[in-house]
C-alpha cells in the first residue's frame, strides 16, 4: 500500500495519474486502503501473479521490501525495472520512500512538496499540542504493543503525548505478558474503530485481561482512531496524529 498511496499522491500533484498503470488489489479494500475511492480511476490491478503483472508492460514497478527475492529476480530477468522500497516503520522512513519514489519517476519537486507538507503538518501539531504530555497505550486483543521504531510511536509523539509502551523498552511490535501489561497505567488507551463502535469497543477493552483494570478504562478515556490512518504506511499516517491530538484536546477541554 505504501507504493500505491505515495504514487497516487505524487502523480495527482503532477497531474499525471494516467502514468499509474496498476495498483495492488488491496487498494480497493476500504478497510485498509486510504485510496479506495480514487482507486476506481486506476484500471489495472497487480498481485503476486507475475504473468498478469508483466502483461501490464509497466516501465517501472515498485515492490515492497518484504517481497521474496525470487519475485524481484523474476521481474528483473523479465527486463522490468524494479525498485524495492525501504521499510515504513517510522515517519523518516516514510519520508524517504516518498523522496525515493519522487526522484525515480522524475517528480522530485512534487515529492518534496509532499514532504514539506508533512513537515509543516508536524510543526503545526507541535504548536497545538495539549498542555500536558499524556501517556497513551495501544489496545491489542493479543497484548501486542507498539514500541520504538513503529509508526505508532511517531504518531503518538507527534500528537504531543508519550507512548507508554516505551516504559517497557519495547522495540518494534512485541507481544507481552498480561502481567507486564497490567503494570502499565496509561492516561488514555488508543484503539482502532469508528465513532459508532465506541460502546462495543469499550466493552471489549473492559473485558480484555491486562487492560481491564487500567484507570483509563475506569475513567472511559478511550481514543478511537480510523484503522486505515493508524496503520497507514504513507503520508496518510498524519491523519491518525490529527485524530489523536483532536481527541486529547477535546478531553482536556471537557475536564477543565
Residues of this chain that bind other proteins (CB under 8 A): 22, 25, 45-55, 57, 59, 64-66, 68-71, 73-74, 77-81, 142, 144, 172-175
By beta-carbon proximity to other proteins, the closer residue of 12 and 96 is 96
Q: How far is the CB of 239 from other proteins (least distance, A)?
A: 20
| CA–CA separation, 250 and 243 (whole Å) | 11
By beta-carbon proximity to other proteins, the closer residue of 21 and 249 is 21
By beta-carbon proximity to other proteins, the closer residue of 133 and 175 is 175
Q: How far is the CB of 137 from other proteins (least distance, A)?
A: 15
| CA–CA separation, 228 and 225 (whole Å) | 9
Q: How far is the CB of 49 from other proteins (least distance, A)?
A: 5
Q: How far is the CB of 25 from other proteins (least distance, A)?
A: 6
Of 40, 104, 37, 100, whose CA–CA distance to 234 is shortest?
Answer: 100
By beta-carbon proximity to other proteins, the closer residue of 81 and 128 is 81
By beta-carbon proximity to other proteins, the closer residue of 177 and 215 is 177
DSSP 208: S
Contacts from 38-44 at CB under 8 Å and sequence distance 24+? 38/8, 39/4, 41/17, 42/8, 42/17
Q: Is 66 exposed, middle or buried (0-12, 13-18, 19+ CB in 10 A)?
A: exposed
The three-point CA angle 90-92-95 to 5° equals 110
Q: How far is the CB of 165 from other proteins (least distance, A)?
A: 12
Three-state SS for 60?
A: strand
Amino acid at each position: 500500500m505504501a507504493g500505491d498511496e505515495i504514487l497516487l499522491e505524487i502523480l495527482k500533484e503532477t497531474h499525471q495519474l494516467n502514468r499509474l498503470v496498476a495498483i495492488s488489489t488491496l487498494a480497493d479494500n476500504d478497510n485498509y486502503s486510504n485510496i479506495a475511492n480514487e482507486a476506481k480511476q486506476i484500471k489495472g490491478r497487480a498481485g503476486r501473479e507475475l504473468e498478469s503483472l508483466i502483461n501490464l508492460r509497466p516501465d517501472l514497478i515498485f515492490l515492497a521490501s518484504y517481497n521474496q527475492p525470487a519475485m524481484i529476480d523474476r521481474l528483473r530477468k523479465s527486463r522490468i525495472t524494479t525498485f524495492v522500497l525501504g521499510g515504513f516503520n517510522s515517519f523518516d522512513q516514510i519520508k524517504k520512500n516518498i523522496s525515493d519514489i519522487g526522484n525515480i519517476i522524475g517528480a522530485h519537486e512534487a515529492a518534496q512538496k509532499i514532504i514539506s507538507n508533512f513537515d509543516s503538518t508536524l510543526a503545526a501539531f507541535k504548536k497545538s499540542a495539549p498542555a500536558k504530555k499524556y501517556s497513551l497505550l495501544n489496545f491489542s486483543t493479543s497484548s501486542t504493543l507498539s514500541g520504538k521504531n513503529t509508526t505508532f510511536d511517531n504518531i503518538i509523539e507527534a500528537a504531543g503525548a508519550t507512548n507508554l509502551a516505551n516504559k517497557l523498552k519495547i522495540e518494534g511490535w512485541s507481544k507481552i505478558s498480561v502481567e507486564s501489561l497490567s503494570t502499565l497505567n496509561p492516561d488514555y488507551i488508543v484503539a482502532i474503530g469508528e465513532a459508532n463502535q465506541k460502546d462495543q469497543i469499550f466493552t471489549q477493552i473492559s473485558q480484555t485481561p491486562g487492560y481491564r483494570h487500567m484507570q483509563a478504562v475506569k475513567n472511559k478515556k478511550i481514543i478511537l482512531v480510523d484503522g486505515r490512518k493508524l496503520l497507514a504506511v504513507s503520508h496518510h499516517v498524519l491523519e491518525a496524529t490529527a485524530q489523536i491530538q483532536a481527541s486529547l484536546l477535546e478531553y482536556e477541554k471537557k475536564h477543565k
